[in-house]
Structure 1
């Protein structure tokens, strides 16, 4: 496929489910992570200060009946980046996303995909590629039914084993 739609467009056309797998212990740095490292914290009571267009896109999809789930496979002890992601996940949950965490030590017997991805309605997959230090490199779209099904099945195995966000304790 020559043109890859943006995430918002893909989610807007999703009818039933959107699942996201993240497997890195660190991603590219950003001002919010850097602020958190300096001790800045979110005022969760001031929604306007942290609610972003992404959160609204998730909330809109959930309101349409789309189940949005995210699974994160993490090494323990976790990196500072994962500590920050765990803290920030409050916003994802507030938007209606269901999030689970799977310690890498509990995933050793699963066949894991090589890249992070989103699967939309079990028919379309957006694959994310990162450099070794977590910088964004590229994204690609895959609509090959066998590949999408294989990745969706891997996600489900991970999801079954992963710990719900509100039960996962950072180590």
Structure 2
């Protein structure tokens, strides 16, 4: 069920200090760019990828720190290997700071149950996926206790995670 969900672009544009994306799946929905990568074809980034880069650039130009932490199983899946290969030219080039955390190093940390975006440590947009990685919905949560738990979890993950430039897949 989707409730209380603003347009994502508006949500990110509302960030004043920080936006953090937590990803915990080893694969996500089908992506033609991923298929091309698996086939060894180098293709241009599609328009929606360029739109994301513009939004990130606009957001970071306003002084907002935009971070992404990905928790991954090892050995990594082909999907994660593809994401890693794309991260420097897509996410980092746009202004994101990206870190990777092998799942085995997160065993003693409390984790939220779903992927999410934390905006200004004040609200959380939880994302839901089906078992095979297809989109299932999302919800904004501004409950103080929930946001506090998410912020503490994300910071613990971030502190332990490996910067993109040092993470080898």
Q: Which category of TM-score, normalised to the shorter sequence, fits these structures?
A: over 0.9
2:143 is the alignment partner of 1:140: no
Runs of 4+ in 1 over 6 A off after TM superposition: 47-50
Cα RMSD for the two superposed structures: 1.8
Question: Corresponding residue for 2:30?
Answer: 29
Question: Corresponding residue for 2:50?
Answer: 52
- CA deviation after TM superposition for structure 1 residue 7, in Å: 1.4
* Alignment of structure 1 residues 54-69 onto 2, 5 Å: 54-69=52-67
Question: Corresponding residue for 2:105?
Answer: 106
CA offsets per residue over residues 95-142 of structure 1, 9 Å max, x none? 000000000111111111110000000101100000111001010010
Distance 1:5 1:50 in 2: 19
CA offsets per residue over residues 57-115 of structure 1, 9 Å max, x none? 11101000000000000000000000011011121000000000000111111111110
Give the match's secondary structure for 1:112.
coil
Structure 1 runs not aligned, ≥5 long: none
| TM-score computed with the length of structure 2 as normaliser | 0.94
Distance 1:29 1:87 in 2: 17
Structure 2 runs not aligned, ≥5 long: none
C-alpha spacing 1:50/1:6, structure 2 compared with 1 (3 Å): closer
Question: Corresponding residue for 1:77?
Answer: 75
Question: Corresponding residue for 1:9?
Answer: 10
Distance 1:33 1:53 in 2: 18
CA offsets per residue over residues 20-63 of structure 1, 9 Å max, x none? 100000101111111111111256xxx89895111111110100
Please tell me whether the aligned partners of residues 3 and 140 of structure 2 are also in contact (alpha carbons under 8 angstroms): no
Query: Which has the larger displacement, 111-120 or 49-58?
Result: 49-58
2:166 is the alignment partner of 1:167: yes
Give the match's secondary structure for 2:12.
helix
C-alpha spacing 1:104/1:6, structure 2 compared with 1 (3 Å): same
